Amino acid sequence: MKLKIEAIRENPASLFRRAGYIFQRKEGMEMSFVRPLARAGYPRFHVYTKLEGSDLVVNIHLDQKKHTYGDDTRHHGEYEESPVLTEEVARIRQIIG
């Protein structure tokens, strides 16, 4: 699920830290953050952010569990609009603005 936060005035890392997210890594211009929902680390919200001018483009999904590896790689997550993601996006907007 994607959202756009226009005209941010703060560093994306600070904004997401305030929303309870943990910085994971930076690759090029994209930063990744997670917010675990259980002590084991999963399920967790996983956010990728990228600045476009002063706007912050956010791509969020819910990782249900760790990747499983074998002959194929599977990622168990929710990417499209679901009630859980919609609720988290609303929470982020309320905190970040």
**pLDDT recorded at residue 70:** 52
**Average of pLDDT values for 62-83?**
68
Nearest to 68 by CA among 48, 86, 42, 95: 42
Q: Please tell me the distance from the alpha carbon of residue 82 to that of residue 18, in angstroms, as a whole number.
A: 24
Residue 73 in this model has a pLDDT that exceeds 60: no
Residue 66: helix, strand or coil by DSSP? Answer: coil
**pLDDT recorded at residue 80:** 76
Residue 29 in this model has a pLDDT that exceeds 70: yes
- This model's pTM is above 0.95: no
C-alpha distance from residue 22 to each of 14, 68, 94 (Å): 10, 23, 18
**Per-residue tokens: 52:** 């476009």
